[in-house]
Structure 1
Amino acid sequence: MDISNALGVMTGERYRASLDDGREVWLAGERVANVAEHPAFRGVVDEFARLFDLRIESEADRELNTFLSPETGNPVSRSYALPRTREELRAKFAASEWWMRESLGQLGRSPDFMANVVVGLYDYHEELEREREGFGANAVNYHRYAMEHDLVLTHALGDPQIDRSASPLDDPDLALRVVEKNERGVVIRGAKQLATLAPFSHEVLVYLNAVTAMRGAEEFVLWFALPMNAKGLKILCREPLGERGNGHSHPLGRRFDEQDAMLFFDDVEIPWERLFLLENNLLAVKGLSRLNAWSMQSTHIRFHERLRLFVSVAAMLAESIGVNAFRGIQENVGELISYAETLRLGIAGAEASAVTTPGGLLAPAPSYGLGFWSADVSARVVELVRRIGASGLIMQPTEADLAAPELRPFLEKYMRGHDIDVDRKARLFRVAWELVGDGFGSRQELYEYLHRGDPGAGRTRLLRTYDRSEVDARLTELISAPLHA
């Protein structure tokens, strides 16, 4: 993969231009000519461009977020760093903290998240090489390529919801599959969901489907990377959740609606150099935790920032309507703080308990249990803010209402708050409504519940892998003799 023209860390201007690459993006039955210029996507593109420029605006931010590539000398994103010491691991996650803080914890597919998946792919390269000569080298080369070009990536892991009671072995359209092999690579056919950030990404990584562990399903097991403008790849976007032209502002959705998409692979050819694994169920299952070793920590850091935002929103809502001294409200805000603090300590613990992987990198301790806990408490967090904001979440004036001279006296008299004017109160409640009430908030909550994987299946895996041996032995010893009164 060519890095001869790579420029290293992305800038806002380069990012905007990079999205005009002929990709086939569909929205509401129409093909989008240029993602960066489309009204439904422009706000998110602007936000990413802002973040890319802000990341290197000051010397302190550049030092935090970038390092010099040992191969090209380009400044590259620290999200792609391969940590081998505790100092390098801390520096890596300090960059993750920057991304999540600056995006208020709202970007589940921030570039930092998927860059860390690519770090996991690199870490697994020796096992991939042993499986098939060249596959491990492809993983190493792809990490280098993505880092040197500072690619924005998505992944597409779910199979289409056609008939979950049926097997792809009976109906192959139920899962993405290889339909041809040739000297150039493989040809694939099928669909994948949900590719979060797809229209705003440069490439997609695919490394999971529902039949990965199914015997006889080898044709459905494939890991690869593909540019979003690949011939035969169609990107179908859901309804946008930002500005909708009805007078009500969407300060979060306009900036952070990262989109979700179905990907249709209409006999798409994947070159051999972009393939990392084929037709090995066991190696695929084993590799999933390795790929997520760093991205899981990135997810925890993001969700912690999201919880911090909820704490501030809840506390300010309570203050704005004079209920902050009520015992029940204080308990509600305190409960929110307890979740944020629990996660903060879990993040610190995973980093402090870092282990060296078989690939020689230093990774946070496995923390899937913390992830499934996060998925559960997310709904409770939303419920608590709804309780505090109550009916005020529904009825707030728009900016146009606030600017209307005939309405202004009534708004100032009846819609002001406790030591807060009507303008700031309306905007505060508008942010809260986006978090817990409208389509953007509903999508974010569903995302929190699902994106770490099915919680039930995850807990079952925890049961199978949790080491009970020491306590089991002590308990067995305890009950092996009569229990004295």
Structure 2
Amino acid sequence: MSRSKETAIAEGSLDIGHARGAKTGNSYIEGLRDSREVWLNGEKVDVTTHTAFKGNLTELARLYDLQHTPALQKQMTFVSPDTGNLVSYSYSLPDSPTELELKWRNSHIWMENSWGQLPRLPDFMSNVMVGVYDYRNELGLADPRFKQNAVNYYTYCREHDICLTHALGDPQIDRSGGPAIDPDMALRVMKETADGVIVCGAKQLATLAPVADEVLIYLSPSFAMREHKEFVLWAALPLATPGLKVLCREPQSHANEACGHSHPFAWRYDEQDAMLFFDNVLIPWERVLLLYNSEIAAKGFERINAWSLYSGQIRFYHRLQTFIGVASLLAESIGVNGFREICNSLGELASYAQMTKLVLKGLQQEAYLTNGGLYAPGDTTASGVFAAQVSPRLVEILKEIAASGLVMQPSEADLSNPELKPFLEKYMRGKDIDVYQKSRLFRLAWDLAGDSYGMRQELYEHWYRGDIVRNRINLFAQYDCKQIKQKLKSLISKPIQP
């Protein structure tokens, strides 16, 4: 197993002396019982008791518990080189292609067991921290403290199995001018003190923040390249930090609905998104990873996300598997699975899944040794563009197959009503499937293709890898077509010789 060459220094809030390693479901939820200030629908809430978070917390706890099952423990954990704790494989530092494969084996377990429905699973941000560790030497060029801080914070996260979110974007106020015109448009450093930096402002969009342990703040390349240094900051802090307010969006788990369809995916996998408001928040020096250096911040974005974006492609593969399964069962349930146009659509889904599978294998084959001494997968830009392009089509195919059945399904209360029961069993059953299973199947499809939950998932799929237009432009700018252009120029340099 990979061993860090630097040893973390137990300092202040980054102490690892009492760390217990890989979380259990219970320790995860207990860790959320703190002083965090979370706002939902105009009220301060306790995320561990509020019904809007119950389903998602239950699922995340179940996933954490997988790390301790006899069947999966060796695949999901390894022995820490610093403490001897069993720690999550999501935090492994792959120093060989074999270790990289073992790392992805763990990611597949997380993604498969959540149906590809949780883009901000702990495995995603744990892999960002692997990237921060890998980028430690470059951070040290800005200030030697930042290199050690990166090592310390990575080790702290690994030993405590920290559930992280990130906050990258500026608030959507007026992006025609930027923070140089109005400083409230971005998070900024107000002043430095002996204890750390004081920051004010806001960040979006922090998915999972209400139920995460900590938040990692950094910048996308377009936000990093700014003239005014006070807007350039990489840092980490607990969600329970004084002065930090977390504003939740409207829940899509439908936990409080008394009637209508049940929502099997939405209830379990509604990852809360949040705005973060920083009201004169102190970030201790030991938690500052980069300050004021736009060039290092811009170059570091791709580097630190190399592992997390591959993990995201693994998730997309399992999301595809879920869509294929639901679409196939829908077609069978109403007897259209033999229709030519339906088979064509199912084949289209299968082609996306197969291409994604091949992409994952190809990126693994293109693994390379970084300047930080770790093996990283090949560039995921093209695969990210592909996923963002085809994701809307997955929803369209479910709608085409299910048709009006997406809308008209009995509720669980309808199914349990003895007066309605004979009518439902006679007129709302399917082909070789009873009304009970059929209605629940169509509710799965509704969650994916018709409900606000599914539309949020689709919006996330489109944007979380960044602007698709920018990514295409960057992809072509980096693509080497010199040889083929030269061959073509040679071909047209003289007339055809008959």
- Shared fold, TM over 0.5: yes
Query: CA, structure 1 residues 213+72, in 2 after alignment: closer, same or farther (shift >3 Å)?
Result: closer
| Distance (Å, rounded) in 2 between the aligned partners of 1:209 and 1:304 | 25
Query: CA, structure 1 residues 467+168, in 2 after alignment: closer, same or farther (shift >3 Å)?
Result: same
Partner SS state of residue 212, structure 1: helix
For these two proteins, the number of residue pairs brought into alignment is: 483
Query: CA, structure 1 residues 67+210, in 2 after alignment: closer, same or farther (shift >3 Å)?
Result: closer
| Distance (Å, rounded) in 2 between the aligned partners of 1:278 and 1:471 | 43
| Distance (Å, rounded) in 1 between the aligned partners of 2:385 and 2:190 | 36
Shift of 1:215: 4.4
The reply on whether 1:255 has 2:268 as its aligned counterpart is yes
| Distance (Å, rounded) in 2 between the aligned partners of 1:142 and 1:448 | 29
The reply on whether 1:31 has 2:31 as its aligned counterpart is no
Alignment of 1:426-445 (within 5 A): 426-445=439-458
1:377 corresponds to which residue? 390
Q: Contact (CA 8 Å) 1:188, 1:270: kept in 2 or not?
A: yes
Shift of 1:459: 1.1
Residue identity (%): 55
1:321 corresponds to which residue? 334
Shift of 1:472: 3.2
| Distance (Å, rounded) in 2 between the aligned partners of 1:264 and 1:209 | 19
2:178 corresponds to which residue? 167
2:31 corresponds to which residue? 18
- The letter of the residue matching 2:170 is D
The reply on whether 1:268 has 2:281 as its aligned counterpart is yes
- The letter of the residue matching 2:42 is G
1:244 corresponds to which residue? 256
Q: Contact (CA 8 Å) 1:67, 1:76: kept in 2 or not?
A: yes
- The letter of the residue matching 1:246 is A
Shift of 1:149: 0.1
Q: Contact (CA 8 Å) 2:317, 2:357: kept in 1 or not?
A: yes
Alignment of 1:118-129 (within 5 A): 118-129=129-140
Q: Contact (CA 8 Å) 1:175, 1:209: kept in 2 or not?
A: no
RMSD of equivalent CA atoms? 1.2
Partner SS state of residue 317, structure 2: helix
2:151 corresponds to which residue? 140
Q: TM-score by structure 2 length? A: 0.95
Shift of 1:465: 2.0
- The one of 46, 57, 74 equivalent to 1:45 is 57
Shift of 1:219: 1.4
Shift of 1:211: 5.3
Partner SS state of residue 41, structure 1: helix
| Distance (Å, rounded) in 1 between the aligned partners of 2:489 and 2:370 | 33
- The letter of the residue matching 1:366 is D
1:63 corresponds to which residue? 74
Q: Contact (CA 8 Å) 2:197, 2:282: kept in 1 or not?
A: yes
Q: Contact (CA 8 Å) 2:369, 2:375: kept in 1 or not?
A: yes
Shift of 1:464: 2.2
Shift of 1:246: 2.6
Partner SS state of residue 391, structure 1: helix
Which moves more between the two structures, 273-282 or 443-452? 273-282
Shift of 1:218: 1.8
Runs of at least 5 residues in structure 2 that lack an aligned partner in the other structure: 1-13
1:192 corresponds to which residue? 203
Which moves more between the two structures, 47-56 or 416-425? 47-56
The reply on whether 1:464 has 2:477 as its aligned counterpart is yes
Alignment of 1:391-430 (within 5 A): 391-430=404-443
| Distance (Å, rounded) in 1 between the aligned partners of 2:224 and 2:473 | 15
| Distance (Å, rounded) in 1 between the aligned partners of 2:66 and 2:225 | 46
Query: CA, structure 1 residues 350+234, in 2 after alignment: closer, same or farther (shift >3 Å)?
Result: same
- The one of 356, 374, 378 equivalent to 1:343 is 356
2:7 corresponds to which residue? none
Q: Contact (CA 8 Å) 2:22, 2:161: kept in 1 or not?
A: yes
Shift of 1:468: 2.5
| Distance (Å, rounded) in 2 between the aligned partners of 1:484 and 1:183 | 79
The reply on whether 1:450 has 2:450 as its aligned counterpart is no
Q: TM-score by structure 1 length? A: 0.98
Q: Contact (CA 8 Å) 1:211, 1:217: kept in 2 or not?
A: no
2:128 corresponds to which residue? 117
Where has structure 1 moved over 6 Å in runs of 4 or more? none
| Distance (Å, rounded) in 2 between the aligned partners of 1:397 and 1:54 | 34
